[in-house]
Amino acid sequence: MSKFYLTTPIYYPNARPHVGSAYTTIVCDVIARYKRMCGYDVAFLTGTDEHGEKLRRAAEDAGKSPAEFVAEKRKLFTSLWEALGIPRYSSENPAGYRFVHTSQNPDHVKSVHWMIRRATEARYIEKKKYEGRYCIFDERYVSDGTDPVDCDICGRPAELISEENYFFKLSAFQERLLELYDKQPSFVQPDYRMNEVKSFVKGGLRDISISRKRLKWGIPWPDDPEQVVYVWYDALTSYLTGIGFRGLDETSLDSDFHKYWMDLDAERVHMIGKDIIRFHAVYWPAFLMAAGLPLPKTIFAHGWIYYEQDKMSKSKGNVVYPEPIVEALNSFGAPGNDALRYYLLRDTPFGQDASFSYDGLVQRYNSDLANGLGNLASRTLAMVLKYCGGTIPDFADFKKKPGWDEGLRWDNLAREVSIHYDTFNLSSALEKIGEVVSHFGDQFLTFHQPWKHADNPGSKPLINGVLYIALEAVRAAVILAYPVIPEATQKIWEHLNCEGYLGKLEKQRIDQLKWGELKPGTRIGKPEPIFLRLDKAEAVARLHEFAEADRKGHQVPSGKETIVETPTGEKPPNTEQAPAQPTTAAAPAATPASDKISIEDFAKVEMRVGEILSAEPIPKADKLLKLQVDIGTEVRQVCAGLAEHYQPEQLVGMKVVLVTNLLPRKLRGVESNGMIVAASVGEEGRPVLATFKEDVPKGAKLR
Q: What is the pLDDT of residues 150-195, one digit of tens each?
A: 888 788 898 888 888 899 999 999 999 999 999 999 999 999 999 9
586 has a pLDDT exceeding 50: no
Q: What is the pLDDT of residues 304-361, one digit of tens each?
A: 888 876 777 666 777 899 999 999 999 999 999 999 999 999 998 877 888 899 999 9
362 has a pLDDT exceeding 80: yes
412 has a pLDDT exceeding 90: no
Q: In whole angstroms, give the CA distance from residue 298 to residue 269.
A: 5
589 has a pLDDT exceeding 50: no
Better-predicted residue by pLDDT, 442 or 522 = 522
What confidence score (pLDDT) does residue 406 get?
56
Characterize the bridge pairing of strands 267-273 and 3-11: parallel
What confidence score (pLDDT) does residue 553 get?
78
> Residue 617 phi/psi, 5° resolution?
-65, 155
Q: Calculate the CA dihedral of residues 656, 662, 666, 670 and round it to 10 degrees.
A: 40
Q: In whole angstroms, give the CA distance from residue 462 to residue 406.
A: 15
> Residue 59 phi/psi, 5° resolution?
-65, -40
DSSP 557: P
What confidence score (pLDDT) does residue 104 get?
66
Residues β-bridged to residue 131: 162
Better-predicted residue by pLDDT, 523 or 414 = 523
What confidence score (pLDDT) does residue 601 get?
67
691 has a pLDDT exceeding 70: yes
569 has a pLDDT exceeding 50: no
Banded pLDDT at 574 (limits 50, 70, 90):
very low
Banded pLDDT at 585 (limits 50, 70, 90):
very low
Q: What is the pLDDT of residues 443-465, one digit of tens each?
A: 888 888 999 998 898 899 999 99
Average pLDDT over residues 667-689: 83
Banded pLDDT at 73 (limits 50, 70, 90):
very high
Whether 127 contacts 90, CB under 8 Å:
no
Average pLDDT over residues 622-639: 85
Look up the pTM and report it.
0.77
What confidence score (pLDDT) does residue 407 get?
55
Average pLDDT over residues 52-73: 89
Q: In whole angstroms, give the CA distance from residue 58 to residue 15.
A: 10
What confidence score (pLDDT) does residue 630 get?
82
Name the residue among 86, 87, 31 with its Cα closest to residue 350: 31
What confidence score (pLDDT) does residue 580 get?
31
Average pLDDT over residues 431-447: 88
What confidence score (pLDDT) does residue 577 get?
30
133 has a pLDDT exceeding 90: no
